[in-house]
Amino acid sequence: MAPEIGRTRSGLRLGYTTGSCAAAAAKAAAQMLFSETEVRHVRLMTPKGIELYLDVEETERTSGYVQCAVRKYSGDDPDVTDGLLIFARVEKVSPDGNSPAVLLDGGAGVGRVTRAGLEQKVGQAAINRVPRRMIREAVREICGQYGFCGTVKVTIFIPDGEKTAEKTMNSRLGIEGGLSVLGTTGIVEPMSEKALTDTIYLEMKMLKDEGRRCCCAVPGNYGSDFLRDRLGLDAGQAVKCSNYIGETIDDAKYLGMSGLLLIGHIGKFVKLAAGVMNTHSAQADCRMEVLSAHAAMAGADTDTVRRIMECINTSQAVGILKERHLLEPVMETVGERIGFYLKQRAGSGLTIGALVFSESEGILIRAAEAEKLLPLIRKEQKDQKKKTEEGAGRA
């Protein structure tokens, strides 16, 4: 069982990153390589300033290398990598040099970068900048202790990495074949919301780096399916924004995107008509209030308003509106309010729009600049597909 290393202000247990595990494993393997003794525990100072004292597992020594592992611990963060063994293999490449040099690569279970826009170049192992520095510094420290000034090679591998990566968003980000070795502080602080918003930013940045000026964003699978099946767009080229509509708009502005088209189910996006920019039910649930108010504005009687307020989902409410011949006027005014709040958040530099749909009725609302953005996004996706096919042909 991993020792407790600290807690957040809210009492959640801290963990340590895959980057810390890789650096600690590399340090232990290097020490065993040069000392020819067994290392059962290893100390590692993280960029956060917290020193870790970690167990070393699965050691293996041959005439050419030493390898060992450190087990990932995520604390109270819901991380699929929790409990995985992160291995490092260290071997001498050359004894000659003026100072220790460390060659670093990823092995089985560590992903490879396949798209531009990430920290590492296409083709490189998905070991981020801070973990790379941590690994190199840890190994150089051991080399210095034993007076070795040559070159060593460090290979990080994760036996269960490729299978575990299927549960992550790596393939969407252009990382194939395994997990990323991550961490900027070396410590996992349970902040799942921040992890999600960071991923939204990264997905959009990658589209921008590929030359996109406009992009579409969907909260989840409903939006992806509608985008693909009903609009004929490539769902793989849409940013998944979860409930973080406001943050997605902010990212588009910060990155200098020209246009952002949001595509989502009425169950989430009706909340935008009340200015709610985080659509998670724990943040706000004003769906029936919005639909009831707009139904009243469209002339609904008291009984209809009461029936809508008693609905448990928007599908029921849409059915009532349709039955009372109020669906079209209600969707029109709801769309106007959605457009108002989206433009208010986006400001003057970003063209923004939203398509709101239901399973039974298809597109219900085309808010703000949706009609303008949709053909622009179609064209950019078509151009990107052509560019990709031409590149594959040359290869």
CATH number of residue 33's parent domain = 3.30.2110.10
Range of the domain at 289: 192-384
Asked if the structure places residue 248 within a domain, the reply is yes
- The yes-or-no verdict on residue 299 having pLDDT over 90 is yes
Do the beta carbons of residue 160 and residue 109 sit within 8 Å? yes
Do the beta carbons of residue 373 and residue 214 sit within 8 Å? yes
Residue 79 token pair: 């991380």
Residue 385 token pair: 């597909």
Mean pLDDT, the chain, integer: 91
Secondary structure of the chain as H, E, C letters: CCCCCCECCCCCECEECHHHHHHHHHHHHHHHHHHCCCCCEEEEECCCCCEEEEECEEEEECCCCEEEEEECECCCCCCCCCCCEEEEEEEEEECCCCCCEEEEEECCEECEECCCCCCCCCCCECECHHHHHHHHHHHHHHHHHCCCCCEEEEEEECCCHHHHHCCCCHHHHCEECEECECCCCCEECCCHHHHHHHHHHHHHHHHHHCCCCEEEEECCHHHHHHHHHCCCCCHHHCEECCCEHHHHHHHHHHHCCCEEEEEEEHHHHHHHHHCCCECCCCCCCCHHHHHHHHHHHCCCCHHHHHHHHCCCCHHHHHHHHHHCCCHHHHHHHHHHHHHHHHHHHHCCCCEEEEEEEECCCEEEEEEECHHHHHHHHHHHHHHHHHHHHHHHHHC
More confident residue, 192 or 199: 199
Per-residue pLDDT at 378 = 92
Q: How confident is the model at residue 139 (pLDDT cuts 50, 70, 90)?
A: very high
For residues 3 and 1, what is the distance between their CA atoms, to the nearest angstrom?
Answer: 6
The verdict on 283 and 306 lying in the same domain is: yes
Range with the largest mean pLDDT of 155-169, 207-221, 332-346: 332-346
Asked if the structure places residue 7 within a domain, the reply is no
Asked if the structure places residue 4 within a domain, the reply is no
Tell me which of 173, 188, 203 is where a domain ends: 188
The verdict on 88 and 200 lying in the same domain is: no
Asked if the structure places residue 393 within a domain, the reply is no
Counting the structural domains of the chain, the total is 2
Asked if the structure places residue 391 within a domain, the reply is no
pTM above 0.85, yes or no: no
Residue 241 token pair: 């924004």
196 alpha carbon, distance to own chain's centre: 5
Tell me which of 188, 213, 239 is where a domain ends: 188
Mean pLDDT of 180-185: 90
For residues 93 and 180, what is the distance between their CA atoms, to the nearest angstrom?
Answer: 25
Q: How confident is the model at residue 3 (pLDDT cuts 50, 70, 90)?
A: low
Nearby residues of 325 by Cβ (< 8 Å), 6 or more positions away: none
Do the beta carbons of residue 109 and residue 179 sit within 8 Å? yes
Per-residue pLDDT at 1 = 55
For residues 109 and 104, what is the distance between their CA atoms, to the nearest angstrom?
Answer: 15
Asked if the structure places residue 241 within a domain, the reply is yes
CA-nearest of 275, 271, 282, 128 to 202 is: 128
Percent of the chain with pLDDT over 90: 68
For residues 18 and 158, what is the distance between their CA atoms, to the nearest angstrom?
Answer: 10
The verdict on 67 and 136 lying in the same domain is: yes
The verdict on 211 and 142 lying in the same domain is: no
Tell me which of 130, 156, 188 is where a domain ends: 188
Do the beta carbons of residue 279 and residue 268 sit within 8 Å? yes
Per-residue pLDDT at 246 = 96
The verdict on 299 and 352 lying in the same domain is: yes
Q: How confident is the model at residue 321 (pLDDT cuts 50, 70, 90)?
A: very high
Asked if the structure places residue 342 within a domain, the reply is yes
**Across 192-196, 325-329, 352-356, least confident range:** 192-196
The verdict on 90 and 232 lying in the same domain is: no
The verdict on 312 and 215 lying in the same domain is: yes
CA-nearest of 307, 281, 299, 287 to 356 is: 287
The verdict on 221 and 365 lying in the same domain is: yes
The verdict on 31 and 171 lying in the same domain is: yes
Longest pairwise C-alpha distance within the chain: 88
Q: How confident is the model at residue 293 (pLDDT cuts 50, 70, 90)?
A: very high
Asked if the structure places residue 243 within a domain, the reply is yes
Mean pLDDT of 74-101: 88
- The yes-or-no verdict on residue 384 having pLDDT over 90 is no
The verdict on 229 and 358 lying in the same domain is: yes
Residue 189: φ, ψ to 5°: -105, 125
CA-nearest of 391, 394, 341, 377 to 116 is: 391
Residue 234: φ, ψ to 5°: -85, 110
Do the beta carbons of residue 305 and residue 334 sit within 8 Å? no
The verdict on 203 and 159 lying in the same domain is: no
The verdict on 35 and 120 lying in the same domain is: yes
For residues 326 and 296, what is the distance between their CA atoms, to the nearest angstrom?
Answer: 10
- The yes-or-no verdict on residue 18 having pLDDT over 80 is yes
- The yes-or-no verdict on residue 323 having pLDDT over 60 is yes
More confident residue, 301 or 383: 301
